[in-house]
Amino acid sequence: MKPTKMYYSITEVAELTGLKPHILRYWETEFSILHPKKNRAGNRAYRKKDIETVKLIKRLLYTEGYTIEGAKRQIRTLRKEGFKPGQPVQEAEKIRRLMVKPTPKKDGLSKEAIDTLKEIRVELREILSLLG
């Protein structure tokens, strides 16, 4: 078993996660859950829990297609359900599966479908306002 490091540089985390360093820096400004320590020189020092948090954010944004705001909501919901920053992404997935309960359908649509449509409406309005 190879020894594990306590701290990783932003370059190492970028390589481990397949992201660019500027994306990681941006996510730090958007997600309060992600806040790597800085060393004396001011360089970011990511811990294992920070890397797991990056993996969770990446999954929500890139795999599941959430917007930044949608990912923030998902993380808040996960934390209410007992998820702690730094837990493996698989733990978050287990919690999310437990949270998804069958809901009665209203007008033929599940609550999840209605919520998704509401998110799409908000995003379309944002696009419309950008277009002028």
Domain boundaries, the chain: 102-132
Mean pLDDT of 101-128: 71
Look at residue 108 and tell me whether its pLDDT is greater than 70: no
Cα distance between residue 29 and residue 81, in whole Å: 24
Look at residue 123 and tell me whether its pLDDT is greater than 60: yes
Q: Are 55 and 90 in contact (CB under 8 A)?
A: no
Mean pLDDT of 30-47: 92
Look at residue 105 and tell me whether its pLDDT is greater than 60: no
pLDDT of residue 128: 80
Q: Are 75 and 31 in contact (CB under 8 A)?
A: yes
Mean pLDDT of 6-12: 94
CB atoms within 10 A of CB 89: 17
pLDDT of residue 127: 83
Q: What pLDDT digit, counting tens, does each position of 66-92 carry?
A: 899 999 998 888 888 777 777 776 776
Look at residue 1 and tell me whether its pLDDT is greater than 50: no
Mean pLDDT of 3-11: 87
Q: What percent of the chain has pLDDT over 90?
A: 39
